[in-house]
Amino acid sequence: MTFAQETFSPGNDVRPSATLLQVSLTIIVPTFRREGYLPKLFAAVAAERASIPEAVDLVLVDNSPEASAKTAASTAPDFVRYVHEPRTGVAQARNRGVAEAQGSHVIFLDDDETPAPGWLGAFAAAARAGAKAAFGAVEPVFETEPPAALRAPLDRIFSRRLAAPPGSEVQHLRAYLGSGNSMFARDTLALVSPPFDTAFDQGGEDVWLFRHLVEDHQIPMLWCPSALVHEIVPRHRASLAFLRARRFSDGQLRSLVESGQGGLRGAARVALWMAVGAAQLGGHGLAALVTRPFSPERSTRHYLAAVGGAGKLFWWQRRLRR
Instruction: Classify residue 5: in a domain, yes or no.
Output: no
Domain check: are 112 and 156 in the same one?
yes
Q: What is the DSSP letter of 33?
A: S
In this predicted structure, what is the pLDDT of residue 5?
Answer: 27
Please provide the DSSP assignment of 150-162 as one string.
Answer: HHHHHHHHH-B--
CA distance 241 to 233: 15
Instruction: Classify residue 45: in a domain, yes or no.
Output: yes
Q: Is the separation of the CB atoms in 143 and 235 below 8 Å?
A: yes
Ranges under pLDDT 50 in the chain: 1-10
Q: How many domains is the chain partitioned into structurally?
A: 2
Among residues 198, 214, 237, the one where a domain terminates is 237
Number of Cβ within 10 Å of residue 71's Cβ equals 10
184 phi and psi angles, rounded to 5 deg: -135, 140
Q: Is the separation of the CB atoms in 226 and 118 below 8 Å?
A: yes
Q: Pick the closest to residue 208 from 253, 272, 270 (CA basis).
A: 253
Among residues 202, 237, 272, the one where a domain terminates is 237
Domain check: are 180 and 309 in the same one?
no
Give burial (CB, 10 Å; 0-12/13-18/19+) of 238: buried
Q: Which residues contact 141 (CB under 8 A, 6 or more apart)?
A: 230, 231, 232, 233
- Reduce the DSSP state of residue 186 to 3 states and report it: helix
Domain check: are 162 and 296 in the same one?
no
Domain check: are 29 and 177 in the same one?
yes
The answer to whether the Cα torsion of 213, 219, 223, 227 is positive or negative is negative
CA 198 to each of CA 34, 90, 131, 141, 251: distance values in angstroms, whole numbers, following the listed order: 22, 8, 26, 30, 20
Strands, sheet with 222-233, edge to edge from the N-terminal-most edge strand: 80-84, 56-62, 25-31, 105-108, 182-185, 133-142, 222-233, 113-115
Instruction: Classify residue 279: in a domain, yes or no.
Output: yes
In this predicted structure, what is the pLDDT of residue 54?
Answer: 95
Instruction: Classify residue 8: in a domain, yes or no.
Output: no
Among residues 181, 204, 237, the one where a domain terminates is 237
Domain check: are 159 and 271 in the same one?
no
Residue-range definition of the domain harbouring residue 229: 25-237
Domain check: are 246 and 224 in the same one?
no
How do beta strands 222-233 and 133-142 pair? Answer: parallel
Instruction: Classify residue 3: in a domain, yes or no.
Output: no
Q: Which residues contact 71 (CB under 8 A, 6 or more apart)?
A: 35
Instruction: Classify residue 117: in a domain, yes or no.
Output: yes
**End-to-end C-alpha distance for the chain, whole angstroms:** 38
Instruction: Classify residue 17: in a domain, yes or no.
Output: no
Q: Which residues pair with 105 in a beta bridge?
A: 25, 185
pTM: 0.89
Domain check: are 220 and 301 in the same one?
no
Domain check: are 169 and 35 in the same one?
yes
In this predicted structure, what is the pLDDT of residue 16?
Answer: 57
Instruction: Classify residue 14: in a domain, yes or no.
Output: no
